[in-house]
Amino acid sequence: MSSANDPLRLEYAEGPNGLRIARQSPPPRAVSFSATYVGPAGWAYDGHGQEGTARVTAQLLTSGAGTRNRIELARFLDRAGGTLTAHCDPESAEVSVWGPADSAPALLGVLADAVQRPRFEGADLERVRRQLVERQLREMTQPGARADRELHLAVFPPGHPYRTTGMGDRRSVSRLRSTDLGKFHARHFTGGGGLLVATTSSSTRSLVRTIGRLFDDVPSTSPPPPPMPRIGGRSPKSLTIDLPGRSQVEVRMGGPSIARSDPSYPAAYLADEVLGGATLLSRLFTRVRSRGGLAYHASSQLEAMRWGGYWTAEAGTGTDRWRRVVPMLRQEVDRIVGEPIPTSELDLVRESRLGEVALALESTSDAHELALDVAYHELPEDHWVTWPSVLRSLRPEEVRRAAELAFDRRHSATVVVGPVRRG
């Protein structure tokens, strides 16, 4: 495979009004096309009292744009064999199209409409509002979602971008008007700070020309990142919430972590994979499920983002077992921070994670995720090509030191949600 056709190697280019473009070749035998716009439109930018704005805006981008209303847009996508999806996180919003390679021009047109010309029709706003309120209620009453929510509230101070899940409350969502969403859209779906990633067999030159024509209306401005309040407190917190009538207890433990740009990220990534990321091999899975037989799921995540990050260790367990599971999670986090990982264990996990990259080349949509990750974090174009040598150069003590940085236990919290009193 020549480097120009290597899906592990991106090509960067400049688009209209400051929009960054990243092109990726599709994997061998792929027959589909993927493209994603990423804009600085996450829920950290929600105004005070207008929480939920970013989520509602992102959702409405798929509900009619340009000359097509929601139903017409859905029918157009059906005929093109494609999909249009949108979601957001604290930092950004992503709008993606996917479909057959021969529909790529039509799908890029849909993406351009969704990003630049959403309709924000009143009936659609009402529908999305209803759906979001329902999700808010579920977040409060489903043990897993409630545990995630409470963990973030416990770890991050008021005003911190990672403190909430961006859904707002019934009052803030009911306050939103189409004009508010229009203003938010104009400020945050921009070329400056924006990014367009395409996995396509078209050349970079041709892609740049197409993007230049289709995305000419994105403003060149870029919003400043929101403030990051200092995370105070010095002792771990603990919280138990009883949800009677539920069957399973969800346990979450977590705290602040490093940003993706931190030089220790690759080592911290490996530490997380050993702890609970590489599910079947990980220490949490092995100890809590395979050896302990105490839970169906036990894992960890390291969310390293642009402005910072957080880590989580979690398990879903029985009402009579959670008291045994909580100390296990804590001990395994302490162990990953306190002791170098044996070389054989580190090698096994490292090679498995490198294999995962090859497996991502099965389809366009999987490969596209690799490209998005690299482009969003402004990593080098050959990031995935050099990734094996980066990971293989890491020694156990480096990984332990990175774990110490990444798994901040001083500011951590433990949350247990579910039918906790029954046991």
Partner 1 sequence: MIRGAGARPRVESFRLANGLRVLLAPLAGSPTSSVWVWYQVGSKNEHPGITGASHWVEHMMFEGSPRYGKGAIDRAIIQVGGELNAFTDTDFTAYFSTVPRDHLSVPLDIESDRMTRALLTDREVERERTVIHSEREGNENWPEFRVEEETYQLAFRIHPYRWDALGRREDIERLTPEELRTYYQKFYGTRNALLVVAGGFEPRSTAAEIRRRFSKLPPSGADVTVGQTEPTARGERRSELSGPGTTPYLQMAWRSPALYDPATPATMLIDTVLGGESRLFSAGPGWGRAAEHPSARLCRALVETGIAVRATSEWRPRIYPSLFTIQAQAARGVPLARLESAIDAVVDRFTKKGPTPLEMNDARTRIRRGAALAYEGASRTGFRLGYFAVLHSPAYEDRLFSQLLAVRADQVRDRARELFRPDSRVVVRYEPTGGGVDE
Where in 167-196 is the site for partner 1 (CB under 8 A)? none
324 scored as a contact of partner 1 (CB under 8 A): no
Q: Which of 340, 150, 130, 156 is nearest to 233 (CA)?
A: 156
- Kindly state the smallest distance separating residue 273's Cβ from partner 1, in Å: 11
Could you tell me how many residues of this chain bind partner 1 (CB under 8 A)? 78
Residue closer to partner 1, measured from CB, 243 or 333? 243
66 scored as a contact of partner 1 (CB under 8 A): no
Are 32 and 365 a contacting pair, CB within 8 Å? yes
Name the phi and psi angles at 372, rounded to 5.
Answer: -60, -45
- Kindly state the smallest distance separating residue 355's Cβ from partner 1, in Å: 1
Residue closer to partner 1, measured from CB, 68 or 185? 68
**Signed CA dihedral, 261, 263, 266, 267: sign only:** negative
Instruction: Give the DSSP letter string of 58-98.
Output: HHHHTSEETTEEHHHHHHHHHHHT-EEEEEE-SS-EEEEEE
What is the Cα–Cα distance from 168 to 51, expressed in whole angstroms? 4
What is the Cα–Cα distance from 137 to 134, expressed in whole angstroms? 5
Residue closer to partner 1, measured from CB, 258 or 294? 294
- Kindly state the smallest distance separating residue 401's Cβ from partner 1, in Å: 25
Q: By CB under 8 A, which span of 201-209, 259-267, 354-362, 396-404 interacts with partner 1?
A: 354-362
- Kindly state the smallest distance separating residue 348's Cβ from partner 1, in Å: 5
35 scored as a contact of partner 1 (CB under 8 A): no
Residue closer to partner 1, measured from CB, 116 or 142? 142
Give the other-Cβ count within 10 Å of 159's Cβ.
12
- Kindly state the smallest distance separating residue 229's Cβ from partner 1, in Å: 26
Relative orientation angle of helices 265-272 and 383-392, to the nearest 10 degrees: 70
DSSP-assigned letter for residue 43: G
71 scored as a contact of partner 1 (CB under 8 A): yes
Which residues, numbered 124-143, are part of the site for partner 1 (CB under 8 A)? 126-127, 130-131, 133-134, 137-138, 140-143
